[in-house]
Amino acid sequence: MSRKMDTTRRAFLGGAALICGQSLTSRAMSAFQYAGAAASQPIRIHVDATRTMGSIPSSFTGLGYEISSVSTNNLLSPANRTYVQLVRTLGRSGVIRIGGNTSDYSRFDPQGKLVSTPKGSVINEESLQQLGGFLDATGWQLIWGLNLGNGSQQNAIEEAKAIVAIAKDKLLAFEIGNEPDLFAHEGHRPHGYSYENYLTDYRHFKSALRAALPGVPLAGPDAALDNDWAQRFANDEGKDLSLLTHHYYRGGAGNPASTLDELLHSDPKLTSLLATLKDISERAHLPFRLCETNSFSGGGKPGVSNTFGSALWTLDYMLAVAWGGGSGVNIETGVNQLDFISSYSPIDDDGKGHYTAAPDYYGMLAFAYAGRGEKLALNYDSGPTNLTVYATAEGQHRIAVTIINKDASRDAEIELTFRQPLSRVTAMRLAGPSLESKQGVTFAGANIAADGSWHPARLEPIHLHDASGKVHVPAASAVVLIGSRIKS
C-alpha cells in the first residue's frame, strides 16, 4: 500500500483529540514518493542532491513559554547557565516565543513584585532584564505576546517599550493577543466574538502601539483552531506583518484516544493545515511559523508525551513542518497555563533549580543535525513499515539523510543510493530502550551532560560502494546519516 510521511494537525480544547490519520497519497514532484515494498524486502532510498526544494531557516528551531515563566526569577536568565547551555545545544540561532494563555491575564509593573500564576502573572523590569541577558547568552530571537484579552492597552504598550529596550535587534515580532479565535471561550470577549470583531480590536491596538513604537515588527493572528483566520488576516494585514503565526497540537491530553500509537501515526489534518498555510504564505509573500506547538495540549499526556516515542515524533514533526513550507516551530516548554511543568516539555524542571533534557529534547537535538540547509528530493518504498525519510544539503559538500522508523515491531533494512558519489557517510542514531521509555534516550550514543552540553560518543561508519550503502534501522529508532560529497 502507499504510505506518506507521518504528519500531524492541531485540535485542542476541552480534551478534544483529532482522529488518527491514515495513509496519504504522495504528490507528483514532491520529495516523497511511496510505492509498496513488502515488509521482508529492503527499503530502497534514492537521494537526488541535484534537486533542491527550498531551504530550512537557521532559526527554524524554537521553544515556547507561557509569560508566567518570565515571572519566575532567574529561570530565563544568563545566570541560569545550565538552561542557557541546553538552549545553545539545540542551535546557535533559534526563536524564543513568550505568550500563551497566561499572557492575556498578565500585566507589567516595572518595580512590582513578580507573580507567576495562570490568571494574574506580573512581570517587572528586573525579569525583563534577565530575559534580555538570556537572549544575549543564547543568541536566539524573541517573539513576544502582548495582552489583548484582559488588560490595559496602555500597560501593554509600556511593556512593549520595555521589551524593545531589552531585546534590541533580537526582537523578531510582537503578537497582539493569544488565540483570539478562543477569546469567547476564555471569557475575554462575549459569545459570538468573530474575526471581524478581532480585526477591529487588533487595528485599534496596533494603531496605539505604532504611535508609541513606529515600525515595530508584528506577527499574527496566532489562532488556535480556525485556519480561516490566518487566510483572512493575511489578506487584511499581510502587508504590515513580518510573520504569519498559528498553533498546532496533535490532540488533547484529556482524550483517551491521545495515545502513543496515535502520536506516531499520520494526522491528515496537519497535512491540510500545512498546505493551507503554505498557500497563504506564498500568496502573501509572508513566512509562517507554528509558534505554539507540541504533542497533546493541556500539558501533554503523561506516559506518552514524556517518552522516547515523543522524541521520534518531535524529530519527524519538525522535519514535516519544514517540508510543508514552515519557517519554524516553537515547542512548548516548562510550566503551562494550568501552572504545572508539562509532560511534553523538552526541558525538565524539578522546581529546585535542576534542569535536564527530556526524551523529546533528543528529537530536537537530532533535528539540529538533520534540518540544515536545502531540502533535497528523494524517493523510496516504505511498504507496510511506519517509516519516513528526509534529506538535506548544507553548503557544497554536506548531505544529511534522516530515517525515522516509528514502527514498534518492524526493523528496516535500508539500501541507500546517491545520484552523486560521497567520500564517506557516518550514522548518528536516536535510540531508547523502548517507545515507552522515559530514561536512557541517546543521540549518537551520548546523552546530555549535567551542564547541558552534548558531544557525540558513537559515529558509526557506513560503507559505500559506487555511491550506494546499506544501513539497518531497528524498530522504534531513527538515524541521521551525514555524508560528504566528493570535492570536484
Instruction: Look at the chain and report how many structural domains it folds into.
Output: 2
Region 388-393: what's the mean pLDDT?
Answer: 98
End-to-end alpha carbon distance in the chain = 40
Same domain for 63 and 51, yes or no, is no
Residue 91 lies in a domain: yes
Region 226-244: what's the mean pLDDT?
Answer: 97
Q: Are 257 and 251 in contact (CB under 8 A)?
A: yes
Q: Last residue of some domain: 370, 400, 429?
A: 370
Q: What is the CATH number of the domain that holds 89?
A: 3.20.20.80
Same domain for 255 and 339, yes or no, is yes
Q: Last residue of some domain: 338, 370, 402?
A: 370
> Among positive and negative, which fits the CA dihedral 266, 269, 274, 275?
positive
Answer whether residue 25 shows pLDDT above 90: no
Same domain for 281 and 162, yes or no, is yes
Same domain for 141 and 251, yes or no, is yes
Answer whether residue 71 shows pLDDT above 70: yes
pLDDT at position 485, please?
A: 86
Region 205-227: what's the mean pLDDT?
Answer: 97
Residue 392 lies in a domain: yes
- 332/3: higher pLDDT: 332
Answer whether residue 16 shows pLDDT above 70: no
Region 87-101: what's the mean pLDDT?
Answer: 98
Residue 100 lies in a domain: yes
Domain with 230, as residue range(s), is 58-370
What is the percent of the chain with per-residue pLDDT over 70, rounded to a whole number? 92
pLDDT tens track for 259-274: 999 999 999 999 999 9
Same domain for 413 and 359, yes or no, is no
Same domain for 63 and 50, yes or no, is no
Q: Which three cell numbers stand for residue 54?
A: 527550498
Same domain for 362 and 425, yes or no, is no
Q: Last residue of some domain: 324, 345, 370?
A: 370
Residue 273 lies in a domain: yes
Same domain for 144 and 50, yes or no, is no
Residue 375 CA to residue 384 CA, distance in Å, equals 25
pLDDT at position 40, please?
A: 66
Region 288-299: what's the mean pLDDT?
Answer: 98
User: Rounded mean pLDDT of the chain?
Assistant: 92
Residue 151 lies in a domain: yes
Q: Are 367 and 316 in contact (CB under 8 A)?
A: no
Is-above-0.85 flag for pTM? yes
Give the model's confidence band at 255: pLDDT under 50 very low, under 70 low, under 90 confident, else very high: very high
Total Cβ atoms within 10 A of residue 442 = 20
pLDDT tens track for 149-196: 999 999 999 999 999 999 999 999 999 999 999 999 999 999 999 999
Residue 351 lies in a domain: yes
Give the model's confidence band at 106: pLDDT under 50 very low, under 70 low, under 90 confident, else very high: very high
What are the C-alpha distances in Å from 319 to residues 4, 322, 417, 430, 474? 13, 5, 21, 15, 20
Same domain for 156 and 102, yes or no, is yes
Instruction: Tell me which residue of 98, 87, 257, 70 sits closest to 171, measured CA to CA.
Output: 98
Give the model's confidence band at 362: pLDDT under 50 very low, under 70 low, under 90 confident, else very high: very high
Same domain for 334 and 411, yes or no, is no
Residue 170 lies in a domain: yes
Q: Which of the residue ranges 18-22, 256-260, 377-381 would you say has the lowest mean pLDDT? A: 18-22
Q: What is the four-CA torsion angle of 263, 264, 269, 270, rounded to 10 degrees? A: 100
Same domain for 355 and 419, yes or no, is no
> Among positive and negative, which fits the CA dihedral 239, 243, 247, 248?
positive
Q: Which three cell numbers stand for residue 25?
A: 497519497
Q: What is the CATH number of the domain that holds 465?
A: 2.60.40.1180
Residue 427 CA to residue 403 CA, distance in Å, equals 10
Residue 260 lies in a domain: yes
pLDDT at position 487, please?
A: 73
Answer whether residue 204 shows pLDDT above 90: yes
Same domain for 107 and 226, yes or no, is yes
